[in-house]
Amino acid sequence: MIELINVTQHYGVRPVLREINLTIPVGGVTAIVGPNGMGKTTLLGVIAGVLSPQQGEVRIKGLRRRGSVEEELEIRRQVAYLPDKPWLPKNRTGREFLFSVGKLYDIADHRLFDHSDRLLRLFQLEREGDWPIRSFSHGQKKKIALAAALISECPLLLFDEPFGGGLDPAGILALKEVIKRLAKMPGRTIVMTAPDPSLVEELADGIIVLREGRIAAFDTAAGLRKLAGDGGALTDVIGRLTFPEALDAVEDYFEQGPS
Amino acid sequence: MKAVMKAVIRWFRVVSPPAWSIVLALIFYLIIEGFRQYTLTLDAAVETRKFGDVQSGIVVVLAAAYGAFRGIAFHPASRDDYLNWLALTPWRFPQPLPLGPVQLVAQDLVFLGLFEVLVFDATLFRFLLALVPAVFLFVVCSSWAVCVWHTGPRVAAYQMGFALGATLWVSSWSYLAAGGCAIATYLLCARRLGQSFQAFPWESNRPKRQSEGQAHLPSFRLLSATKEEADLGWAFETLGPRRAERLPLQDRLLLSGLVGWWALAITACLPVEIVRPLAALVSIGFGAFHCVGQVGLYIKTHLPPISFLGRLTTGRWLIPSYDVAILPIVYFVVAVGMGTFLTLPGVDWPVRYVVPVVLTLYLVATNWLIPDLERWRLTCETRISPWRYGMASNQYEQL
């Protein structure tokens, strides 16, 4: 279980997250959605431990983030975080990189051999897996970074915009299926951000809608539709929840006559 | 004749440096020799002597380089693959090491003799004749001390380090005393090296899993490095469950004391008229470099959790858990102030004592009173930044 208790985060003067109280249950997929600049990446960064909130605390499975060396290390063993723009060691091959990440998380060698083969096959990188990462395309880099997160076998995966970064349709399809299947495994939790709600509708068990640093809603897709009073596409529903004045703004625009 | 040549080459190759380094040193030496011979044809005695002194200086440097090579290159601790392979063999001290001896052998005398001949030929400054073996032995023993420190037991390495400093100090009193001290130091170092080999395979050689921690020591893999320990990129490297242990407090304090002891020994060897400006300059430079390096090591990927403007406007002027990493700057300023005060007219402490004392106190403070890097990184309030990977540091920055 991930708990955020009264979390406020700001880098300078203006808070990006404001008094967030949130509990994400173990198991399943939780998506964080919202317009640009509303704090999706910041919220995920706070959960991942990249950012220390100015106020409040984060607890993962009862352990407090940065509470003590032991607590933080135990959390890190259970959490793999994949940022929107990961940096990869360009002179190492994809397979070497996967092995190194696996060893970092104490995965046994025999499991690593097998798992890395399967991951490279999954993301169509069997041939490129033994090439230096510098020769990878943008999308292939994204794939190998995703594979690295998966090889860690962590029960909690935090993905920042996993479907971005030049993933091809085959990669998106593979990742969707992997996320669906992982979410069904006991104890596996996936939290991800997505700018486009339609991508996560079929995956997410819970959707967190952020608006100006606060949680506007946290429910299932059906629950959000009910809350917004809109049975249409999830994108429209999220739009209503995050920017209720959107339709009024359109009316205003046309009332004055488009130029 | 051919067979004799082959036998001689084989005999030398046991300890000789790589052929490319010998050729390089030879070319460099011959270029200087060419200039010297040219000045001889001009009958320019002063120029000839200058070139001869430079040439002799180069020979002393070459002797030091050869000493470092002999002290380290054959030691198994300098090469992972050699060390791991040796640990799997039945090799035990005092059997000869398979890739060549770390201890000095007869071939070293021949190399030293060659250096002496070159110096004798090049300069009239006969002091350099004694300097060549002294520098060679000093560097060899220092290299052994580094190897013993890495393989344990560390106390033996500190004994070697302090003994080497003492030799340096005593050399400022009389050459006879220095010679006696040098012999005693060499014997001590050779004995401690042997004791270190007797404990092979070393405890630190045993492979460890990452989560069990690895000693946070400067890498001693001069000739190889495992790829697993290289960069893992953003975000696995900074957020992975990796933990490095800090040197024990005893080691940190002893190392601080050793630096102070060597500073005392070096300043004792310098003429009084240059001790004051030189010692002040070097110690302030060293302190500044150390202070910036130490703070940089802490904060290079871990930025303050809130901007300076944010601190001012929110009233969080101090963030103790983060700001403790910047303390070396304060200690450095205090140390410089203390050093200046102690040398003021009226207080008048001799500079040659002020520098070691202040330097030691500064290092003790930075080593003792600041939380270790891993603890700080795991528990401080911070904003982890991927800027070291060339990525925009403002990825998370918004006003």
Q: Which tens digits make up the pLDDT trace of A172-213?
A: 888 999 999 999 999 899 999 987 787 788 889 999 999 888
What does the pLDDT read at residue B274?
81
- Omega before residue B153 within 30° of 0, cis: yes
How far is Cα B63 from Cα B111, in angstroms, rounded to an integer? 9
Taking all residues of chain B, what is their mean pLDDT, rounded to a whole number? 83
Query: Is the model's pLDDT at A60 over the cut of 90?
Result: yes
Q: Cα torsion at B134, B135, B141, B143 (round to 10°)?
A: -170
* Mean pLDDT value across residues A226-255: 80
Contact of B399 with chain A, judged by CB distance below 8 Å, is answered with yes
Residue B393 has pLDDT above 50, yes or no: no
The answer to which of B72-76, B203-207, B228-232, B393-397 has the lowest mean pLDDT is B393-397
Query: What percent of chain B lies above the pLDDT cut of 70?
Result: 87
> Who wins on pLDDT, B260 or B238?
B260
**Is the pLDDT confidence value at B397 over 50?**
no
pLDDT in tens, B92-102: 988 999 999 99
- Higher-pLDDT residue of A23, A258: A23
- Which B residues in the span 106-125 are in contact with A, Cβ-Cβ below 8 Å? none
Q: Which residue of A has its CA nearest to B303?
A: A51
Residue A42 is predicted with a pLDDT of 93
Instruction: Give mean pLDDT, residues B295-311.
Output: 89
* DSSP code at position A211: E
Helices within chain B (DSSP H only): 2-13, 19-42, 45-68, 80-88, 106-122, 127-151, 154-170, 175-198, 236-239, 249-269, 272-299, 308-314, 320-323, 327-342, 351-368, 373-379
CB-CB neighbours of A1 under 10 Å: 12
Q: Mean pLDDT across chain A, nearest whole number?
A: 89
Q: Return the pLDDT at B372.
A: 85
Do residues B226 and B126 touch, judged by C-beta distance below 8 A? Answer: no
- Given this model, what pLDDT does residue B211 score? 40
Statement: residue B222 has pLDDT above 80: no
pLDDT band at B258 (very low <50, low <70, confident <90, very high): very high
Asked if A96 lies within 8 A of B306 by C-beta distance, the reply is no
Of the pLDDT bands very low, low, confident and very high (cuts 50, 70, 90), residue B399 is very low
Query: Average pLDDT of A73-79?
Result: 94
Taking contacts as CB-CB distances below 8 angstroms, the residues of chain A near B241 are: 73, 76-77, 104-106
Per-residue burial over B196-217, b = 16 or more CB atoms within 10 Å of its CB, e = otherwise? bbeebbbeebeeeebeeeeeee
Using CB atoms, pick whichever of B313, B386, B396 lies closest to residue A87: B386
Over the stretch B114-166, which tens digit does the pLDDT of each residue have?
998 888 877 766 777 888 899 999 999 999 999 999 887 899 999 999 999 99
How confident is the model at residue B214, as a pLDDT? 39
**pLDDT tens-place string over residues B355-391:** 899 999 999 999 888 888 888 999 999 998 876 555 5
- ipTM for the complex shown: 0.86
pLDDT attached to residue B52: 76
CA dist A240 to A35, A77, A99, A224, A228, Å? 11, 39, 45, 10, 7
Single-letter amino acid code for the residue at B353 = Y
According to the model, what pLDDT value does residue A159 have?
95
pLDDT at A221 over 70: yes
Determine the Cα–Cα distance for residues A74 and B273; give it in Å rounded to an integer: 59
Domains of chain A: 2-87+155-255 (3.40.50.300)
- What confidence category does residue B107 fall into, taking pLDDT thresholds of 50, 70 and 90? very high
**Angstrom distance (rounded) from CA A115 to CA A111:** 6
At residue B221, the pLDDT reads 42
Compute the residue count for chain B. 399
Predicted confidence (pLDDT) at residue B240 exceeds the cutoff of 90: no
Task: Determine the Cα–Cα distance for residues B352 and B360; give it in Å rounded to an integer.
Answer: 13
For B219-224, what is the mean pLDDT? 39
- Which residues, numbered 326 to 385 in chain B, qualify as contacts with chain A under a Cβ-Cβ cut-off of 8 Å? 374-375, 378-384
Token pair, residue B17, equals 């440096």
* A73 has a pLDDT exceeding 90: yes
- Burial of residue A258 (CB within 10 Å: 0-12, 13-18, 19+) is exposed
A127-136, A152-161, B282-291, B381-390: least confident range: B381-390
pLDDT given at position B369:
85
Question: CB of B128 within 8 A of CB of B58?
Answer: no
Cβ distance of B239 and A10 shorter than 8 Å? no
Cis peptide before B235 (omega within 30 of 0): yes
Q: What amino acid is encoded at B118 in this protein?
A: L
Residue B48 confidence (pLDDT): 67
pLDDT at B343: 85
Q: Reading across the β-sheet that carries A2-9, which strands appear in turn?
A: A17-24, A2-9, A55-60, A63-64
CB-CB neighbors (< 8 A) of B246 in chain A: none
A vs B: CB pairs below 8 A:
132
Confidence of residue A218 (pLDDT cuts 50, 70, 90): very high
* Token pair listed for A120: 């490279």
Do residues A33 and A197 touch, judged by C-beta distance below 8 A? yes
Q: Are B89 and B158 in contact (CB under 8 A)?
A: no
Check pLDDT > 70 for residue B296. Answer: yes
Beta bridge partner(s), residue A132:
A93
Q: Indicate the SS3 state at residue B328.
A: helix
User: In chain B, pLDDT over 90 holds for what percent of residues?
Assistant: 39
DSSP string, B84-143: HHHHHS---TTSPPTT--SS--HHHHHHHHHHHHHHHHH-S-THHHHHHHHHHHHHHHHH
Which chain A residue's Cα is nearest to B393?
A: A85
Give Cβ neighbours of residue A146 (< 8 Å, ≥ 6 apart). Answer: A82, A123, A159, A162, A175
Distance from C-alpha of A183 to C-alpha of A193, rounded to nearest angstrom: 16
Closest Cα in chain B to A160:
B235
CB atoms < 10 A from the CB of B231, how many?
18
Closest approach of A91 to chain B, Cα-based (Å)? 10
Average pLDDT of the segment spanning A45-73: 93
Over range A154-177, report the average pLDDT.
89
**Per-residue pLDDT reduced to its tens digit, B4-60:** 888 888 888 888 898 899 999 889 888 888 887 887 777 666 666 777 778 888 889
User: Is the pLDDT score of B104 beyond 80?
Assistant: yes
| pLDDT score for A22 | 92
Q: Where are the alpha helices (DSSP H) in chain A?
A: 40-48, 69-78, 94-104, 109-122, 138-151, 169-184, 197-200, 221-228, 234-242, 246-255
In this prediction, residues B173-193 reach a mean pLDDT of: 92
Contact A87 B233 (CB under 8 A): yes
C-alpha atoms less than 13 angstroms from C-alpha of A100 in its C-beta half-sphere: 21
By CB atoms closer than 10 A (0-12, 13-18, 19+), residue B294 is buried
Beta bridge partners of residue A58, listed in sequence order: A4
Q: Does pLDDT of A167 surpass 80?
A: yes
Which residue in chain B is spatially nearest to A148 when comparing CA positions?
B236
B193 CB contacts (<8 Å, ≥6 apart)?
Answer: B102, B103, B144, B147, B148
